[in-house]
Structure formats: C-alpha cells, structure tokens
C-alpha cells in the first residue's frame, strides 16, 4: 500500500481481525493524504478507512461509509439552478463538496458532488460514481459481485440485473484530469 499511496514516510499494518487492519502512519501528512485520496481499493474491493484515536477497540470502529464523487447527468438546462441542486444534494443525504466554476453552479454537462455514501445500502441508479470498486449488478451493494449468487444467478433464478457498468463515471474532475476539455455553460437559461 505504501507504493500505491505514495507515502513520504512509513506505515505499519497490524491485523485486527478478519478483513480489518490497523494502519499506523509515521507522519500526519501521509495519513491526511491517504484519507483525502479516498476511495482506495485492494484487489478491486473497496478499502474502507476511518480515523482511529486509539481510545477504543479498533474492531468496534464503524466502517460503513465512504466518500465518493458522484455525477448527476442528463438534467435539462432549466433544472441547472440552485433550487434543484439543493434538492438533489438533500436527496443524497448531504454533501462534502460541490464542484462548480466561479460563475456557474455546474461545471461541464453534469453536476459533480462529493458525498458521504453509506456502503451498506445499494447504489443509486441515477448517479454515476467515480472510482467505483467492484459491486453487484443484482443488488447494487459494494464489495461483491453477482458471482456470490452462484448457480442461482447462472440459471436466472435471481432478480434481473438492474445495475451495470454504466454506474462507473468517466474521471473528468479538475482534481483528476485538470480543467482542459471541460465545458462551461456560457449562456443564462433564464435570459430572454
């Protein structure tokens, strides 16, 4: 993980229990960089990280949320306004950050929001998720695939697959590819 995270200093990894590890960073800046760079994956599965203060048993630290950049596509131009944006943000349970230009609420052809996602719930079908790890095309939950349903999925004994690869967003944010190639809205849809 040290190579993937591009750490300046070291990190020690201790096994807490099955599929739970304690990462101890040698310097605070490396820890901040890793936490800020979420989401991370290991073998294509989501690696859930949480700050740990050392005051409780690490096995009891909840690991049920992850920050993701999500993209809301295909909104009519008249819906690209502060009221609709606020409704969308509220429906997602709040946000951490919203990408916008200095003069517009939208950057490009979609709304881009960083949200705190509950990974115990199914993905939302109308969103596209950046850096999305493996997920199930049957139930929409992260960290397993339809292969977990075994023969039942092969024989068509499970529900249709409402989820698919289209939930993975193209990586287009300024923190991922720079501002080049991004489209800004230049006309006011409310102007006559």
109: exposed, middle or buried (C-beta count within 10 Å: 0-12, 13-18, 19+)?
middle
Q: Which two tokens stand for residue 40?
A: 């991370």
Report cis status (omega within 30 of 0) of the bond before 104. Answer: no
Indicate the domain borders of the chain: 2-63, 67-177
DSSP letter, residue 135 = B
- The β-bridge relationship of strands 128-129 and 97-99 is unpaired
The pTM for the full model equals 0.77
pLDDT tens, per residue, the chain with 192 residues: 878 898 989 899 999 998 899 999 999 999 999 988 889 998 889 999 999 999 999 999 999 999 999 998 888 878 877 888 888 888 887 778 877 655 555 556 788 888 888 999 999 988 999 999 999 988 899 988 877 776 555 555 656 678 999 999 987 554 344 444 443 333 333 333
List, in sequence order, the alpha helices (H) in 37-142. Answer: 82-91
Max CA-CA distance within the chain?
A: 63
């Amino acid at each position: 993980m040290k190579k993937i995270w591009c750490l300046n200093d070291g990190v020690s990894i201790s096994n807490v229990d099955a599929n739970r590890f304690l990462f101890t960073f040698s310097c605070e800046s490396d820890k901040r960089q890793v936490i800020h760079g979420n989401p991370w994956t290991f073998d294509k599965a989501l690696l859930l990280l949480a700050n740990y203060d050392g005051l409780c048993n690490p096995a009891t630290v909840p690991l049920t949320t992850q920050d993701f950049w999500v993209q809301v596509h295909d909104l009519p131009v008249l819906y690209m306004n502060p009221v609709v944006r606020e409704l969308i943000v509220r429906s997602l349970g709040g946000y951490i950050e919203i990408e916008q230009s200095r003069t517009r609420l939208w950057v490009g052809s979609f709304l881009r929001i960083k949200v705190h996602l509950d990974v115990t719930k199914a993905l939302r079908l109308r969103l596209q998720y950046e850096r999305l790890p493996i997920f199930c095309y049957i139930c929409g939950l992260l960290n397993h695939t339809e292969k977990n349903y075994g023969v039942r999925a092969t024989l068509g004994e499970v529900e249709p697959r409402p989820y698919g690869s289209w939930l993975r967003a193209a990586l287009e944010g300024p923190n991922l590819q720079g501002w080049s190639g991004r489209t800004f809205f230049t006309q006011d849809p409310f102007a006559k």
